Amino acid sequence: MSVFALMAVLGTACSASDEGTSSAEVPRTLPSALPSPSQRPEEERAVDAYLGMMRALVDASLDGADDHPDLERFADGQALQLTRDMLAGHDSVATGEPVLTPQATEVDLQQDPPRVVVEDCVDESNWVMEGYEPASAEERNTRLFVATVTEQEGEWKVGELWLGDIEGC
């Protein structure tokens, strides 16, 4: 059973459509460190904030922790609360990692604050709770994540995170 399948009972996730995702996207594994933001496009910096939040979430789940110091660096508001609730929802340790395919689907840099929506069809098949078996190759365990990322004082943070239905993408 995947980490997020167990977390579905929290009731804090909502359904989201799968518009804007493509089966041709190249899956990414989570980076161990993010590159310097120097002169990178804002859209990429927003996706990096999402990846940083996910890296912190995965690292904490692998340690069996109920929080991670980097969560506040990459998330705030509802997204920070949801990720903390997801980690606090169980006492076991996860193994493996999800496969991510994040894509900026909406970019509005003129809005105050600037905003980028990131959609990701997360494959949780090999990110499982201790004591459960990973999904077989025939049965992939996917879920759409939709993150609203805003720029705050030169830094991008995920402020809202919504999880779609299991097998939703």
Residue 75 pLDDT class (50, 70, 90 cuts): very high
**Poorest-pLDDT segment among 37-41, 98-102, 140-144:** 37-41
Mean pLDDT, residues 3-20 taken together:
40
Tell me the CA distances in angstroms from 112 to 74, 108, 152, 157, one per residue in order: 19, 9, 10, 14
> Which tops the pLDDT comparison, 90 or 154?
154
Answer for the pair 127, 2: CB distance below 8 angstroms, yes or no. yes
Task: Round the average pLDDT of the chain to a whole number and report it.
Answer: 82
98 upstream amide cis, omega within 30 of 0: no
Give the largest Cα separation in the chain, rounded: 48
| Strand order from edge to edge, sheet including 155-166 | 103-108, 115-123, 142-152, 155-166
Determine the Cα–Cα distance for residues 160 and 158; give it in Å rounded to an integer. Answer: 6
Answer for the pair 92, 129: CB distance below 8 angstroms, yes or no. yes
Whether residue 12 is predicted with pLDDT greater than 50 in this model: the reply is: no
Residue 168 pLDDT class (50, 70, 90 cuts): confident
Residue 100 pLDDT class (50, 70, 90 cuts): very high
* Residue in 96, 94, 84 with CA at minimum distance from that of residue 158: 84
**Poorest-pLDDT segment among 26-30, 40-44, 68-72, 131-135:** 26-30
Whether residue 76 is predicted with pLDDT greater than 60 in this model: the reply is: yes
Whether residue 21 is predicted with pLDDT greater than 60 in this model: the reply is: no
Half-sphere exposure of 122 (CA within 13 A, CB side): 27
Token pair recorded at residue 141: 């365990």
Whether residue 104 is predicted with pLDDT greater than 90 in this model: the reply is: yes
